[in-house]
Chain A
Amino acid sequence: MDEQLTLAQALANLSDLAPEIWQASVETGLMLAIGLSVAIVVGGPLGILLYLTQPGQLFANRAVNGVVGWFVNLVRSFPFIILMVSLVPLTRLLVGSTIGPIAAAVPLSFAAIPYFARLVEQTLREIPRGVIEAAEAMGASPAQIIWKVLLGEARAGLISSLTILTISFLSYSAVAGVVGGGGIGDLAIRYGYYRFQTEVMVAMVLLLVVIVQIIQFAGNHLAARLDKR
């Protein structure tokens, strides 16, 4: 039957699925939005802390740097699927359920925090030490140094980091989707794999390809505009 599938039929099947595709896209969007927001709100400050506690930096502190760095590495060394399963109790506690995009956003957020923290730390390292020192010499407070100097000077790199994070987590969200989160990846597996509707699989992969390209293009464009170095 598969071999007799014409293009017209394939398109007709897809158009029948349009509401589900839309629903799946919204679910993917929701998982990403929650995961990325948590990454920015929690992972961002953690990355700044990781940077500032390094030797020679403003709040150089071997103990804090060691503990935070260890936690970041620990979470990052878990394969995502294992992290998801281990976080089932936490997810149930927080969301009251383990299925649906909101539930899937819990392990996604958890994985996104150390991922983004590391990216932020790497990005901040590119700022010349002398620029921070100049701000210190002018009497800037730590908060002013963080907001005006670190974030201002690293803004293009931070946008690039966020782009990388978004694209990685689009793929993580597909994994989370299959284990009950919904979304584009889940739709692709349910129709394309379990029901042998290859055209759905192909269409969903194409959709993801297009989304990734758009995110990368937008990220590059914004980063280039913000970078005056």
Chain B
Amino acid sequence: MIHLKNVHKRFRRPEGGWFDAVRDTTLHIKAGEIFGLIGFSGAGKSTLLRLINLLERPDHGSVNVDGRDLTGLSAAELRRARQNIGMVFQQFNLMANRTVAANIAFPLEIAGWSRADIDQRVAECLDIVGLADRAGHYPSQLSGGQKQRVGIARALAPRPHVILADEPTSALDPKTTQSILDCLQDINARFGVTVVIVTHEMHVIRSICHRAALLDAGEVVELLQVTDKQVAARSALAKSLLEVA
């Protein structure tokens, strides 16, 4: 489903020189999987996630999603490919001047859907995330958890095969966190959407992931398998993250 082959990303340091945020990394994520990217802050998780929809372009290596090599696409083709890859953000990134319904409609407007199709799909997505009664509200009138549900509905609206989530619960309290994780799991189970989720908490991995990659200094240092909400860890780093949780 998602194949990252030897992807490498370096950033120019403000003070000069280069910094390798993702180092020559290879990763295969299966269709229908909930896959976690875990590691400490600065490990390169977000950069690796953003390589999947090419928000960051790799310096070398290839990014293949749903059988297409994204690095070779034209700008217009890449935009169309991105409509198949939803994204959910820690800070929600909703449009403040659009209602909940209009936020969810946004990716569909972009994809050129008809008004009638948009209205029907927005209503469906509002139902899926349990916000049918908030359609006409503005984001400023919602709680953090509700905002993230809108973010998830928006990502889900164009019926993508993949959803990328960058610390979707890190701005939320523990109870809300669980409900958002349940929401993502529900979407994965009902629609078979492949979910890639970035987190620094082992709890998130145990709670909904099937597998996860442990990142350190821009490299995958261990692949974690989750069975019955238990993570088998070999490396010291993975064990230390398990202790925190």
| Chain A residues within CB distance 8 Å of chain B | 128, 130-131, 133-141, 144, 148-149, 152-153, 155-156, 226-229
Contact = CB atoms under 8 A, between A and B. Distances in A.
A139 B155 CA distance: 11
Contacts of A152: 95, 97-98
A140 B79 contact: yes
Contact of A148 (B80, B106, B140, B158): B106
A139 to B, nearest CB: 4
Contact of B138 (A141, A156, A228): A228
Given A148-B106, A148-B109, A228-B140, A139 B79 contact: yes
Contact of A128 (B78, B83, B87, B91): B91
Nearest to A228: B138
25 contacts: A130-B91, A131-B94, A133-B89, A133-B93, A134-B87, A135-B110, A137-B85, A138-B86, A138-B87, A138-B106, A138-B107, A138-B110, A139-B78, A139-B81, A139-B82, A139-B107, A140-B110, A141-B79, A149-B95, A152-B95, A152-B97, A152-B98, A153-B95, A227-B97, A229-B97
A155 B78 CA distance: 29
Given A137-B85, A139-B81, 11 more contacts: A133-B89, A135-B106, A136-B82, A137-B53, A138-B83, A138-B86, A139-B80, A139-B83, A139-B107, A229-B96, A229-B140
A134 B89 contact: yes
A140 B154 CA distance: 13
Nearest to A149: B95
B189 interface: no
A131 B97 contact: no
Chain B interface extent, by class: 20 to 34
A139 B76 CA distance: 9
Contacts of A149: 95
Interface string B161-176: 0001000000000000
Interface of B is mostly: mixed
Contacts of A228: 96-98, 138-140
Contacts of B94: 131, 134
Contact of A130 (B82, B85, B89, B97): B89
B228 to A, nearest CB: 34
Contacts of A134: 87, 89, 93-94
Contacts of B97: 152-153, 155-156, 226-229
A135 B82 CA distance: 10
Contacts of B221: none
B55 interface: yes
Contacts of A153: 95-97
A130 B80 contact: no
B31 interface: no
The residue among B86, B95, B158 with the most chain A CB atoms within 10 A of its own CB is B95
A139 B54 CA distance: 11
Nearest to B155: A138
Contacts of A155: 97
Contacts of A226: 97
Contacts of B140: 228-229
A9 to B, nearest CB: 54
Nearest to B164: A137
A155 to B, nearest CB: 6
Contacts of B164: 137
Contacts of B93: 128, 130-131, 133-134
B111 interface: yes
Contacts of A138: 82-83, 86-87, 106-107, 110, 154, 158
B94 to A, nearest CB: 7
A128 B53 CA distance: 20
A144 B140 CA distance: 23
A19 B87 CA distance: 63
A153 to B, nearest CB: 6
A93 B33 CA distance: 69
B55 A137 contact: yes
Interface in B98-136: 98, 106-107, 109-111
Contacts of B95: 131, 149, 152-153
